[in-house]
Amino acid sequence: MKTKFKNLTIWITGASSGLGAALSIAFAKKGATIILSGRDRQKLEAVKDKCKRSHKHIVIPFDITDSKQARKAYQLIKAQTSKVDWLINNAGISQRSLIMETEEEVERQIMEIDYFAQTRLTRLILPDMITQGGGRIVMISSVAGLLGTQYRGAYGAAKAALHMWANSLRAELHDKGIEVATVFPGFIQTNISINALTADGSPQGTMDEATNAGLTATEFAKQVTKALSKGEEYIIVAGSKEKLATRVNRVSPPKLYKLIRESQVK
């Protein structure tokens, strides 16, 4: 049975641009009530204006790495809506630096944003989801969390950790009505490479060729909404090369990493 989105309230983090904005617009089009979160209220309001029936959606800006702000944001949400049915943990930041050149503090920053902030927010909302009889947690991981490549050591590690954490959550809370899905984007046309952290923590500032040639964020959102409406739990949304790489990895990891070394991914 397909999901009836008009009955759902969906909280999406990192909703001010890129994948989060595209997901917000796509789910709103299907009738869901969207709670849009990110740090920039003005950008969130602009995305809200693009959502169908924009008047019914809610903007809650906060810094996801700040635990106090996260708790306050959730209290504001509970004051404005009866419940949150789905939480889509989409906020995150990427990396473009070699392991040997990357400062430890930069790696910690990536882990804080891409892993700890996501798991913290999930634990915050889970008690109420369980009390209300169920809900769905959606983690936006990455193909980089399945395959280790150059220039993404900490990013791939954080996304892999998120994937494994989601697997454990699914196993632990299945009997509580909590559904868990993990989405693995490949190269998608967003600002992810522009904002990606380099070795000293500064943003790269340029668009990668592979990212620029990737799927559009709109196509990504279309595939994700379709998969989630069917109850899928493990969703890869990527181009043919990335999908092939995940298949090769399952059959022969040494062969895959030979190809990765030769391709010099960046």
Residues catalogued as catalytic? 155
Instruction: State the angle between helix axes of 217-229 and 18-29 in degrees (0 to 180), rounded to the nearest 10.
Output: 50
**Spatial distance between the Cα atoms of 107 and 102, rounded to a whole number of angstroms:** 7
Strands (DSSP E) along the chain, which ranges? 9-12, 33-36, 58-59, 86-89, 135-140, 178-185, 188-189, 215-216, 234-237
What single letter denotes the amino acid at residue 125? Answer: I
Question: Can you tell me which residue has the tokens 């989601």?
Answer: 166
Q: Quote the tokens at residue 37.
A: 């979160």
CA–CA gap between residue 211 and residue 238 (Å, rounded): 11
